[in-house]
């Protein structure tokens, strides 16, 4: 039993940290996986309801670090008002769950961010043109939802 | 602003001056010649054509050969002679003035330290105007003129003259090329005031022939012309002029009146330059920043856009600059450098970039006030109930009690948010389109007085207040006032700021 736990632990660690930072640095599109539950260094907070489509409600996705720093992503139906005027909503689509398995080496997890730290994670994320957040599709367990989010940063001045 | 060269002889007088051609990017230039010859008035333009390629290759300098295109004008309406097509001889007395450094006997140049030559004369290095003069006749009636470009006169020379137009002994026009828009002696005065290094000297010499009349050199001249010897010798002035020339040389812009330099990285960044100009339209910003740094020649600010900082913006001393207070005279020298992050400028809304410039400008203002409180715009012009004396006490308090990196931020958080709110309100309409304002006004926020109650509408004053706090999040005051992160205040703060930075337009339209 102990041996099984050790193997499982190694598998989890390997699985979590298998991303290659150098490879990710060159990606214009980054995928970040959302946690299923609040707590344990992650929090999802609803900002406002979307009257037309509840799936498009606005949210904050916060990733906390042990030193107290936070990486925040914002999801809104439109990433900015120019896009709202042009009716170009933020990317939002569902995809088969196998996407997670096939692309695990390019999906950024909370564990990976903890491993490289908040500062390097921010640098990596700021470099991307598009960030897609992956979360469960409550209506279809075989699928996951991908949402275009914005990295939120209140810089130092 | 051009000076006029007068040439006289028997029955002849001509006046020559530079034409300023702002849209001409070449190194060729034009003069206008007004002459009276045997009682007949005429006006001509003459273009001195320089081989720009040769100049670029460094094979030709100021000593240009000229093609000449005289055009007639001002024909006496009474003489009826509007077009004879006569060919002209023009006598050109080429008078090129070049600022030349003369080393001391030991070889020290004017921009180097020389305590007096021990190697022979001259004792000290100096700058001299070397004039190269050469007169020649330029025949404009055919292809073989001495200017080498074979221009043909477009019309007659006015009429009524008795001279033989083909006689080189009797030229129709006598002129001297005026390549500089500055008066005689100006170059030497500038050089003696600034004591430029070789690169700066090259820049000054090069400016003389620029067809646009070198407004940059003219602006330096206008300023230098008003200075007395002591002011010229002032190290800070010299430092500022050298920074100004370096900024001009790299394509930047200098506001001499207000002693503000826009480095080329700033001036050539269309977005940030446009945003800064909008910001200067705010009366309160003008009072706080422009008037403060325009008050004295001793306070200078340089703006720069960089890509090697991890913060949105930062204000510090200009490298190798003088920043001190003379304890005897009480005079203050301050040379500040405001650096703005290029990535942040590109990725953020125009109003967010304006807020960052404002934030850094407040740092610049407070740096000056901390050195000496009664200089710069009086603080009670900014905030009614705090005069400069109170400000001095307050700043000392914050500098004694706050963490060194957050001293000014603590002060700003406690005292200057209302000022920032006012300035942001002034510039809102010039940086946020009306439809974006309407989109923002449709957003709702937590009612901080009744968090479990219904949400309340967007409030511009709240937006300005929270937006002004961006950058102050590491202060004790902020953390005491705004945290924890799940408090209604902090949630409203992040939501307002998210809209402010990411939702409003990134563009600035002139």
Q: B341, A155: Cβ pair inside 8 Å?
A: yes
Checking if the pLDDT of B455 tops 80, the result is yes
Digit-coded pLDDT (tens) for B464-510? 999 999 999 999 999 999 999 889 999 999 999 999 999 999 999 88
| pLDDT given at position B94 | 55
Can you give the pLDDT at residue A8?
A: 44
What distance in Å separates residue A141's CA from the closest CA in chain B? 31
Q: Residue A95: inside a domain, yes or no? A: yes
Residue A157 domain-assigned? no
Give the gap in angstroms from C-alpha A18 to the nearest C-alpha of chain B: 28
Is B327 contained in some domain?
no
The verdict on A79 touching B (C-beta cutoff 8 Å) is yes
Alpha-carbon dihedral B444, B448, B450, B453, rounded to 10 degrees? 20
Of the candidates B436, B473, B506, which has its C-beta nearest A154's C-beta? B473
pLDDT per residue as tens digits for the range B156-165: 233 333 344 4
Return the pLDDT at A9: 42
- Tell me whether residue B288 is in a domain: no
Q: Which two tokens stand for residue B447?
A: 């009612």
User: What tens digit of pLDDT does each residue of A26-35 get?
Assistant: 889 999 999 8
Residues of A in contact with B494 (CB under 8 A): 60, 72, 152, 154
Measured distance between the N- and C-terminal CA atoms of chain B, rounded to whole angstroms: 29
Least confident stretch, B60-74, B198-212, B243-257, B450-464: B60-74
Q: At what angle do helices B186-194 and B235-249 cross, to 10 degrees?
A: 110
Is position B152 within any domain? yes
Is-above-0.90 flag for pTM?
no
Of B311, B474, B498, the CB nearest to A74: B498
Q: Is B504 on the interface with A (CB under 8 A)?
A: yes
pLDDT in tens, B194-210: 888 888 888 888 887 66
Mean pLDDT for chain B? 81
Sign, Cα dihedral of B428, B431, B435, B439: negative
User: Rounded to 10 degrees, what is the CA torsion of B388, B389, B394, B395?
Assistant: 60
List the structure tokens of B366.
């407070």
Residue where the block lists tokens 């990411």? B502
User: Which candidate from B312, B436, B444 shows the least CB-CB separation from A156?
Assistant: B312
Integer Cα distance of B1 and B22 in angstroms: 14
Per-residue H/E/C for B129-160: EEEEEEEEEEECCCCCCCCCCCCCCCCCCCCC
Q: How far apart are CA B159 and CA B161, in angstroms?
A: 6
| Residue A113 lies inside a defined structural domain of this protein | yes
Interchain proximity B470–A157, CB inside 8 Å: yes
Whether B471 and A156 lie within 8 Å, measured CB to CB: yes
Q: Is residue B418 part of a domain?
A: no
Calpha distance B202→B208 (Å, rounded): 10
Percentage helix, strand, coil, to 5, in chain B?
40, 20, 45
Instruction: Compute the distance between CA of residue B102 and CA of residue B141 in angstroms, rounded to an integer.
Output: 43
Q: What is the pLDDT of residue B219?
A: 86
Query: Are B294 and B257 a contacting pair, CB within 8 Å?
Result: yes
* Segments forming the whole domain that contains residue A142: 2-152
Q: Is residue B137 predicted with pLDDT exceeding 90?
A: no
The total number of structural domains in chain B stands at: 1
Whether residue A131 is contained in a domain is answered as yes
Which residues in chain A have their CB less than 8 angstroms from residue B473's CB? 154
Cβ <8 Å between A157 and B497: no
More confident position, B313 or A23: B313
Residue B76 belongs to a domain: yes
Give B-chain residues touching A79 at CB under 8 angstroms.
502-503
The whole-number pLDDT of residue B507 equals 97
Which residues lie closer than 8 Å to B217 by C-beta, 6 or more apart?
Answer: B182, B190, B204, B207, B208, B210
Tell me the C-alpha distance between B90 and B141, whole Å.
10
Domain encompassing residue B175: 5-182
Can you name the residues that pair with B91 across neighbouring β-strands?
B137, B174
Query: How many domains does the structure of chain A reveal?
Result: 1
Does residue B77 register a pLDDT over 50?
Answer: no
CA atoms within 13 A on the CB side of B391: 28
Mean pLDDT, rounded, for B279-295: 93
Query: What residues are paired with B31 via a beta bridge?
Result: B18, B46
Task: Please indicate, yes or no, if residue B251 is contained in any of the structural domains.
Answer: no
**Could you tell me which chain A residue has the CA closest to the CA of B506?**
A82
Give B306's contacts (C-beta < 8 A, 6+ positions apart): B265, B339, B340, B341, B342
pLDDT value at position B172? 67
Q: Kindly state whether residue B164 falls inside one of the protein's structural domains.
A: yes
Does the ipTM surpass 0.85?
yes
Tell me whether residue B301 is in a domain. Answer: no
Q: Which residues pair with A98 in a beta bridge?
A: none
Report yes or no: B443 and A48 within 8 Å, Cβ to Cβ: yes
């Amino acid at each position: 039993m102990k041996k099984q736990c050790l193997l499982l632990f190694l598998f989890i660690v390997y699985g979590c940290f298998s991303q290659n930072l150098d490879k990710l640095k060159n990606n214009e599109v980054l995928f970040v996986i959302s946690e299923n539950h609040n707590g344990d260094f992650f929090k999802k907070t609803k900002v406002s309801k979307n009257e037309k489509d509840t799936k498009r409600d606005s949210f904050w996705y916060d990733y906390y670090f042990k030193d107290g720093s936070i990486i925040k992503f914002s999801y809104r139906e439109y990433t900015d008002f120019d896009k709202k005027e042009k009716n170009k909503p933020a990317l939002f689509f569902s995809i088969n769950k196998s996407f997670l398995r096939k692309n695990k080496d390019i999906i950024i997890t909370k564990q990976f961010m903890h491993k490289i730290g908040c500062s390097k994670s921010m640098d990596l994320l700021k470099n991307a043109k598009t960030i897609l957040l992956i979360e469960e599709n409550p209506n279809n367990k075989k699928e996951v939802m991908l949402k275009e989010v914005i990295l939120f940063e209140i810089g130092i001045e | 602003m051009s000076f006029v060269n007068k040439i006289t002889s028997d029955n002849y007088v001509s006046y020559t001056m530079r034409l300023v051609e702002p849209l001409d990017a070449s190194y060729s230039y034009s003069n206008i010649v007004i002459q009276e010859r045997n009682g007949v008035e005429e006006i001509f333009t003459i273009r001195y054509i320089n081989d720009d390629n040769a100049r670029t290759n460094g094979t030709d300098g100021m000593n240009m050969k000229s093609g000449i295109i005289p055009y007639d004008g001002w024909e006496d309406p009474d003489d009826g002679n509007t077009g004879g097509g006569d060919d002209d001889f023009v006598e050109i007395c080429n008078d090129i003035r070049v600022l030349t450094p003369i080393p001391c006997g030991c070889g020290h140049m004017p921009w180097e330290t020389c305590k007096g030559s021990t190697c022979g004369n001259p004792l000290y290095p100096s700058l001299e105007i070397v004039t190269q003069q050469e007169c020649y006749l330029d025949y404009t009636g055919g292809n073989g003129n001495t200017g080498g470009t074979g221009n043909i006169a477009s019309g007659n020379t006015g009429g009524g003259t008795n001279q033989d137009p083909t006689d080189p002994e009797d030229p129709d026009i006598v002129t001297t090329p005026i390549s500089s828009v500055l008066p005689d002696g100006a170059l030497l005065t500038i050089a003696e005031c600034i004591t430029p290094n070789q690169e700066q000297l090259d820049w000054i010499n090069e400016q003389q022939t620029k067809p646009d009349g070198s407004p940059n050199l003219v602006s330096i001249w206008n300023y230098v012309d008003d200075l007395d010897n002591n002011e010229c010798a002032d190290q800070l002035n010299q430092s500022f002029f050298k920074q100004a020339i370096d900024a001009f040389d790299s394509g930047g812009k200098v506001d001499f009146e207000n002693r503000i330099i826009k480095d080329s990285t700033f001036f050539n960044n269309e977005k940030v330059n446009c945003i800064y100009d909008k910001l200067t339209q705010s009366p309160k910003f003008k009072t706080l920043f422009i008037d403060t740094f325009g008050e004295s020649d001793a306070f200078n600010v340089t703006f720069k856009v960089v890509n090697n900082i991890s913060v949105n913006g930062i204000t510090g001393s200009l490298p190798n600059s003088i920043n001190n207070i003379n304890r005897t005279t009480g005079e203050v020298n301050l040379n500040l450098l405001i650096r703005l992050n290029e990535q942040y400028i590109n990725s953020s809304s125009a109003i967010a970039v304006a807020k960052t410039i404002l934030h850094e400008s407040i740092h610049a203002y407070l740096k000056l006030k901390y050195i000496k409180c009664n200089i710069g715009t009086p603080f009670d012009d900014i905030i009614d109930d705090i005069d400069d004396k109170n400000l001095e006490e307050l700043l000392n308090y914050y500098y004694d009690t706050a963490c060194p990196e957050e001293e000014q931020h603590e002060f700003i958080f406690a005292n200057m948010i209302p000022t920032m709110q006012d300035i942001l309100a002034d510039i809102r309409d010039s940086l946020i389109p009306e439809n974006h304002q309407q989109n923002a006004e449709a957003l709702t926020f937590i009612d901080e007085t009744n968090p479990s109650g219904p949400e309340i509408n967007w409030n511009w004053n709240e937006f300005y207040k929270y937006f002004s706090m961006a950058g102050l999040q590491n202060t004790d005051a902020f953390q005491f006032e705004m945290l924890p992160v799940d408090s209604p205040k902090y949630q409203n703060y992040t939501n307002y700021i998210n809209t402010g930075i990411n939702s409003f337009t990134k563009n600035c339209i002139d």
